[in-house]
Amino acid sequence: MALLNWDRDTAMPASGTDTRAQQMSTLAALLHRELIRPELDDVLDMQRTIAEGDPVAAREVALLAHERARATRLPESLVRELSEAESRCVAAWIDAHPRGDWDALRGPLAHLVALKTREAEALSDSVQIYDALLDGYEPGATTDALTPLFADLAGRLAPMILEAQATMPRPLPTRHWPHNAQMELAHEIAAMVGFDHTRGRLAESAHPFSTAFGAGDVRFTTRIDERDPISNILTVLHEVGHATYEQGISPDYARTILHDAPSLGAHESQSRFWENHIGGTKAFWELIAPRMGALFPTAMKGIGADDLYNATIGVQPSLIRVNADEVTYNLHIVLRFELEVGLISGDISVDDLPEIWDARMVDLLGIRPTSPKDGVMQDVHWPDGMFGYFPTYTLGNLYAAQLATTLDTELGGLEARIAAGDLSAILGALRARVHRHGSLYRTTELMMHATGASLSADPLIAHLATRVQTAISSHG
């Protein structure tokens, strides 16, 4: 299924779309059929007995049993209906999004939300059925735990954003940054972080992502814009954070359910760490500026590390999540979390989404979308059925900040290591504390071991406060 996905986004012609959707639906149904086979209970019982006293084997059995328990609650017909409704809704979104045509998306999305609600009801024992969807991406997370955490974050970000207002990044002069040199730079930055190119692949896709087909085959993509060198660099740092995580999991766990992160929040902690805590330092731009000078002799004329750095910092409320700065970004997630909890619980109707979205954007960021294209229709996640996914982005930011605080102490200053070109010490520390464990621990345990602290907004708030001060002193 991962390969069907990778190929769809990196190689498949558009005329393959319908058949590919059917192939993915078929495989989803086959996976479901394997997971619900009655004889699996006996296998799991036997393995549970064998695993007594062996925490690795016991965790493996527990994770498999959890997957099976979720699968047995869903009829195969619903699995297929969901897969097909998602494909149809994504197709409707691809068609309707460019012109912001909410009326064309509303019907397919309402149908999909109804199916996702049926899925959540089937999976859930609790009153808050949304938690069952959240569990698919962030096992152990609950609406009751996230709501006050996100409210705390939103409350403390609001005055910071007011303080930082109008500190926009200083764009680079308009130049041509050739495609092939950008791909070479992408390759080099990935290697610099510690990605092993002999055990993986780098490709291009419209929406960058990373994936793994096994311990020896980890892949990620970037997107090249010849008018802008920065986006590719930050994208590579982000995706290679995911990809080095996959390459760093203990080979003992190959071909088992343990060969994965315990949650998407844990995975995202690595991508956000490299993108924001490494890519957000002046030392990083000083490190790569000479290579950029060699790769882009014309475009880099008169441009130095300071210019590159200044092009990346700034705080300003904006409508589009993927373009948001690091400080305002999390409020985009808070908005989506509130709305999807409401959608799945039935408190919010799909018909009312645009109005509620726009009103909450005004509350949280002080700006109002002019079209659904810049509002409720901007992301493909909901049309793709990924309700419960968005919160993992902010959880990733929270864990990344905790890890950066820990590593800053452990390594005698992250910036000093970057300035010394010693990214391998940083990757080594992440491997030891996070990657190698795979899914052996739950995310909360893993991060408690790795950072000595439980989940809190404090490290992220402290980090973003520094960002705001930097933006003010640079551009204020």
Closest CB to a second copy among 184 and 307? 184
Closest CB to a second copy among 26 and 323? 26
Determine if 19 is a binding residue for a second copy (CB under 8 A): yes
Q: How many CB atoms lie within 10 A of CB 427?
A: 22
Determine if 148 is a binding residue for a second copy (CB under 8 A): no
d(CA 341, CA 373): 22
d(CA 142, CA 145): 5
Closest CB to a second copy among 116 and 431? 431
CA distances 468 to 281, 379, 459, Å, are: 13, 27, 14
Determine if 412 is a binding residue for a second copy (CB under 8 A): no
Q: Which of 393, 268, 385, 345 is nearest to 28 (CA)?
A: 385
Residue 227 structure tokens: 């008018």
Q: How far is the CB of 3 from a second copy (least distance, A)?
A: 6
Determine if 200 is a binding residue for a second copy (CB under 8 A): yes
Q: How far is the CB of 259 from a second copy (least distance, A)?
A: 10
Phi and psi based region of residue 53 (left: phi greater than 0; alpha: psi -120 to 50; beta: remaining)? left
- Segment holding 203, helix H or strand E: strand 200-204
CA distances 432 to 91, 124, 243, 438, Å, are: 42, 35, 16, 11
Q: How far is the CB of 406 from a second copy (least distance, A)?
A: 31
d(CA 190, CA 239): 9
Closest CB to a second copy among 30 and 151? 30
Selected from 49, 174, 198, 454, the binder of a second copy by CB under 8 A is: 198
Q: Which region, judged by CB under 8 A, interacts with a second copy, from 141-149, 212-220, 356-364, 450-458?
A: 212-220
| Own/partner long-range contacts of 346-354 (Cβ < 8 Å, ≥24 apart) | 346/117, 350/106, 350/109, 350/110, 350/113, 351/106, 351/110, 354/102
Q: Which region, judged by CB under 8 A, interacts with a second copy, from 43-51, 137-145, 213-221, 339-347?
A: 213-221
Site for a second copy in 244-273 (CB under 8 A): 254-255
Q: Which region, judged by CB under 8 A, interacts with a second copy, from 20-28, 77-85, 160-168, 419-427?
A: 20-28
Would you call 303 helix, strand, or coil by DSSP?
A: coil
Residue 138 catalytic? no
Are the CB atoms for 217 and 247 separated by under 8 Å? no
Q: How far is the CB of 242 from a second copy (least distance, A)?
A: 17
Site for a second copy in 60-99 (CB under 8 A): none
Determine if 432 is a binding residue for a second copy (CB under 8 A): no
Determine if 16 is a binding residue for a second copy (CB under 8 A): yes
Kindly list the residues in this chain that would bind a second copy in the complex (CB under 8 A).
3-4, 6-7, 11-20, 22-23, 30, 34, 198-201, 203, 213-217, 254-255
Active-site residue set: 239
